[in-house]
């Protein structure tokens, strides 16, 4: 979000709505019954078959399937011929109908059922502003399930952010509650979002909460009443919590937290049915836990759920939206701790059916909670989606996410732990080439982006491609990664390119000591912050690596900060970055092109909105001037997230050729 920009523009291409008798492949899959349990046994381990690069470069065929409230329709993002659409599959009385919605040049960011006949969608696109700059704007749309109608929601009045969905009705009506900006100027009242109730079937809206200075985020309870607003004052680094018990009360400032003193708000994560009671996340123990919260006194009760050694994730509400059904968390992989007895029993049945080597994740359910969509997969194989009904207990295949990759296990994946040079224990994800002895293997060190993020045991198309080519792949969750508590995150402060980089080197040393990796055949590969780490490794520790590969990496922290200054609350971002890297110049690879001592492949998408393409362009120019070995590839339509199949394919092809020349398996 910007603090000042030109007059708002409408989003790019118009939406196309197509009643698709095509996409028959999806309908055919939905008809296929799977009366037996999903396969649980693999063939004996033999050397992996070399799969074509195109198999790994495919966009997932299906993403994010959601059941309609009556359970008769499924909405999902589907990839057809390398492009993604929202597909709505209707299944009534054995008859199947398919509607397909394409976002044109816009991004399809999210979708949600409102009732059995209508959905609300969030889209985004770059828009031109005064001075020729481009900024990312979002909008919400009501769409009919038969694919014949769309209703823009507040498009003519919304500014940059227009798709903040706060609530969806549970009574079958087509009502939602939506927050949106009305101005793009910081000194205008409309810069701060107001809250609207919208009818997605007509597009009509009415204001229910006016904008409030400094409040950028609003939150509603299960009835649709807006109960809380969170504000932030960048100049003073103060966070604000406004609260009201009901829609008959006015908002009052309930809490102020000073960011300069590391104070945090006690903000509700869920408003409970009992008045004045809520659940909130709390990290006073050193790890994120879920605890009871008394809103009248802002006092915390006993922990409701926590995971020793890890932070918890999001919550899943009950059918009424006023109670807790489950808590998401990640240890070595994503899991759900169910509290609802029926869901506990159902999860146990699925877990038993698929076995310990893969997971069964309940991803969507209908209003009655007797029809479900279940994702079945594992870290060594792409997932498949199944529909399940409690009436007959039958799993039916909806879709496999990767059609060209065999359903039998590919490269095995497991978590390991090692100690860094200062004794800090670090968890890492190790992928080994299938059928090969884990001894003296060529190694790819692949640090994640973020850096406040983490890797886990899940299907990773890049790691699996590399393992299929004969490489061991290690993905360390170095200090500063998320999910391991406050102390672990704090270990990364001030350590960009320093101790965080040491952790990466220590990972390699551990695998060499264990006999798994050959110290003479190691390459570092990463994207975003991982791309920065690859550049830094080639510049600072080149003697350790045969080569380096950076996708969308950051080379110049100072320039990155100047880019980020265009956005709202840039002051807090700048302060945070200074904590992570107090001396930008000292840890920015662009300042040390002459010290690069290993060949590097730089790739970047021209349409990257997260890390500007100049970060790689400028690095390439510096390396050229210094006479260092490098290759630079720019993808004209590429973004930060490999959203296009063509870009995935080109990246894998370039990486394979570069590794073959510099670190052959």
CATH of domain 16-400: 2.130.10.120
Quote the CA–CA distance of 300 and 207 in Å, as a whole number.
Answer: 33
User: Buried b vs exposed e over 296-306: b needs ≥16 C-beta within 10 Å?
Assistant: eeeeeeeebbb
What pLDDT does residue 86 have?
Answer: 95
Report the pLDDT value the prediction gives residue 565, as an integer from 0 to 100.
Answer: 58
Task: Tell me phi and psi for residue 235, to 5 degrees.
Answer: -60, -40
Q: What pLDDT, on a 0 to 100 scale, did the predictor assign at position 17?
A: 38
- Name the helix (H) or strand (E) containing 108: strand 107-113
Nearest to 386 by CA among 350, 417, 421: 350
pLDDT mean by block of 10 residues, the chain; 665 residues: 33 35 37 38 58 96 96 94 89 82 86 97 82 79 94 92 96 97 87 96 97 95 96 89 94 92 89 95 95 93 96 95 96 96 96 90 95 96 95 90 91 97 98 96 97 96 98 98 96 94 98 98 97 97 96 92 62 69 90 97 92 96 98 95 93 98 96
Question: Residue 443: beta bridge partners?
Answer: 472, 522
φ, ψ for residue 637, nearest 5 deg:
-110, 10
How confident is the model at residue 608, as a pLDDT?
Answer: 87
What is the per-residue pLDDT for 187? 84
Instruction: Please state the domain extents for the chain.
Output: 16-400, 413-662
pLDDT of residue 260: 82
pLDDT of residue 561: 81
Task: Report the topology of domain 413-662.
Answer: Rossmann fold (3.40.50)
Per-residue confidence (pLDDT) for residue 234, from 0 to 100: 81
């Amino acid at each position: 979000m910007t603090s000042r920009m030109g007059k708002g523009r409408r989003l790019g291409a118009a939406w196309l709505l197509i009643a698709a008798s095509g996409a028959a492949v999806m309908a055919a899959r939905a008809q296929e019954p799977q009366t037996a349990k999903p396969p649980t046994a693999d063939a004996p381990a033999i050397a992996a078959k070399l799969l074509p690069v195109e198999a790994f470069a495919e966009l997932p065929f299906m993403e994010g399937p959601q059941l309609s409230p009556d359970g008769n329709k499924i909405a999902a993002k589907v990839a057809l011929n390398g492009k993604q659409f929202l597909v709505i599959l209707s299944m009534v009385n054995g008859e199947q109908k398919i509607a397909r919605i394409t976002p044109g040049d816009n991004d399809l960011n999210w979708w949600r059922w409102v009732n059995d006949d209508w959905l609300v969608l969030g889209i985004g696109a770059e828009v031109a502003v005064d001075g020729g700059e481009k900024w990312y704007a979002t909008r919400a749309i009501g769409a009919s399930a038969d694919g014949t109608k769309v209703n823009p929601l507040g498009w003519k009045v919304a500014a940059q952010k227009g798709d903040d969905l706060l609530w969806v009705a549970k009574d079958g009506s087509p009502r939602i509650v939506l927050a949106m900006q009305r101005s793009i100027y910081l000194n205008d009242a409309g810069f701060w979002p107001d809250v609207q109730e919208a009818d997605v079937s007509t597009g009509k809206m009415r204001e229910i909460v006016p904008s409030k200075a400094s409040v950028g985020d609003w939150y509603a309870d299960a009835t649709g009443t807006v109960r809380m607003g969170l504000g932030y004052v960048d100049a003073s680094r103060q966070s604000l919590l406004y609260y009201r018990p009901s829609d008959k009360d006015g908002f009052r400032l309930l809490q102020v937290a000073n960011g300069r003193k590391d104070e945090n708000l006690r903000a509700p994560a869920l408003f409970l049915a009992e008045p004045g009671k809520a659940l909130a996340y709390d990290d006073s123990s050193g790890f994120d836990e879920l605890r009871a919260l008394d809103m009248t006194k802002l006092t915390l009760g006993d922990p409701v759920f926590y995971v020793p050694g890890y932070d918890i994730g999001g919550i899943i509400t009950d059918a009424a939206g006023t109670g807790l059904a489950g808590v998401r968390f990640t240890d070595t992989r994503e899991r759900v701790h169910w509290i609802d007895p029926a869901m506990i029993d159902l999860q146990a049945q699925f877990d038993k059916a698929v076995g310990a080597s893969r997971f069964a994740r309940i991803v969507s359910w209908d209003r009655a909670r007797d029809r479900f969509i279940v994702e079945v997969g594992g870290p060594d194989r792409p997932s498949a989606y199944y529909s399940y009904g409690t009436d007959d207990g039958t799993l039916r295949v909806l879709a496999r996410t990767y059609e060209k990759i065999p359903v039998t296990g590919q490269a095995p994946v497991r978590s390991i732990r090692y100690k860094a040079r200062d004794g800090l224990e670090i968890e890492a994800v190790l992928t080994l080439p299938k059928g090969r002895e884990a001894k003296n293997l060529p190694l790819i060190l692949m640090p994640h982006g973020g850096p406040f993020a983490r890797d886990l045991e899940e299907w990773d198309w890049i790691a699996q491609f590399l393992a299929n080519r004969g490489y061991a792949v290690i993905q360390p969750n170095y200090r500063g990664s998320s999910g391991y508590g406050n102390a672990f995150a704090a270990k990364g402060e001030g350590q960009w390119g320093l101790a965080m980089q040491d952790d990466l080197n220590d990972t390699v040393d551990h695998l060499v000591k264990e006999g798994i990796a050959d110290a003479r055949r190691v390459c570092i590969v990463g994207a975003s912050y991982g791309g920065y780490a690859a550049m830094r490794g080639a510049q600072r520790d080149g003697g350790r690596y045969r080569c380096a590969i950076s996708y969308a990496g950051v080379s110049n922290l100072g320039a990155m900060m100047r880019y980020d200054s265009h956005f709202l609350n840039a002051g807090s971002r700048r302060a945070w970055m200074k904590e992570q890297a107090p001396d930008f110049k000292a840890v920015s690879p662009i300042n040390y092109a002459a010290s690069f001592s290993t060949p590097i492949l730089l790739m970047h998408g021209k349409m990257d909105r997260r890390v500007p393409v100049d970060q790689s362009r400028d690095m390439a120019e510096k390396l050229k001037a210094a006479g260092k070995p490098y290759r630079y590839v720019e993808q004209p339509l590429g973004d930060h997230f490999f959203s296009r199949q063509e870009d995935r394919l080109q990246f894998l092809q370039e990486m394979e050729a570069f590794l073959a020349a510099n670190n052959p398996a």
